[in-house]
Structure 1
Amino acid sequence: MKTSARGFTLIEVVVTLALLGLLASMAAPLTETVVRRGKEQELKSALYQIRDAIDAYKRAFDAGYIEKSLNSSGYPPSLQALVDGVRDVRSAKGAKFYFLRRVPRDPFATARQDDTGGWGLRSYDSSADSPRDGEDVFDVYSQARGKGLNGIAYREW
Structure 2
Amino acid sequence: MQRWRGYTIIEMMVVMVVLGVLASAAMPLVELSAKRAKERELKQAVWEIRQAIDAYRLAVDAGRIGRGDGASAYPPSLSALSAGVPDMKAGGQAIYLLRRIPRDPFAPKSLPAEASWGLRSYASPPQEPKAGADVFDVYSTSAEVGMNGIPYRLW
- Aligned residue for 1:90, secondary structure, equals helix
Tell me, in whole angstroms, the C-alpha distance in 2 between the residues paired with 1:16 and 1:133: 58
Greater displacement, 6-15 / 16-25: 6-15
Partner of 2:12: 13
Q: Deviation string for 1:80-107 (max 9, x for gaps)?
A: 011111111122x321211011111111
- CA distance 1:114–1:33, shift in 2 (3 Å): closer
Change beyond 3 A, Cα 1:36–1:114: closer
The amino acid that maps onto 1:108 is: F
The one-character-per-residue Cα deviations of 1:2-61 (angstroms, maximum 9, x if unpaired) are: 122222233322221111010010111111111111111111111111000000000001
Superposed CA RMSD in Å reads 1.5
- Please, which of 128, 131, 135 is the counterpart of residue 130 of structure 1? 128
TM-score normalised by the chain length of structure 1 = 0.92
* Displacement of 1:112: 3.3
Structure 2 stretches lacking a partner, 5+ long: none
Separation in 1 of the partners of 2:112 and 2:53?
A: 21
Residue 153 of structure 1 is matched in structure 2 by 151
> Does structure 1 residue 88 correspond to structure 2 residue 53?
no
Aligned length: 155
| Displacement after TM superposition at 1:115 (Å) | 6.3
Stretches of structure 1 lacking an aligned partner (at least 5 in a row): none
Q: For residues 56-85 of structure 1, give each alpha carbon's deviation from its aligned partner in whole angstroms, at most 9, with x where no partner exists.
A: 000001111111333122000000011111
The question of whether the paired residues in 2 share the 8 Å contact of 1:104 and 1:117 is answered with no
Q: Judging changes above 3 Å, is the alpha-carbon distance between structure 1 residues 28 and 113 closer, same or farther for their aligned structure 2 residues?
A: closer
3-state SS, counterpart of residue 114 of structure 2: coil
Q: TM-score of the superposition, structure 2-length normalised? A: 0.93
1:44 aligned counterpart, secondary structure: helix
Seq. identity, %: 51
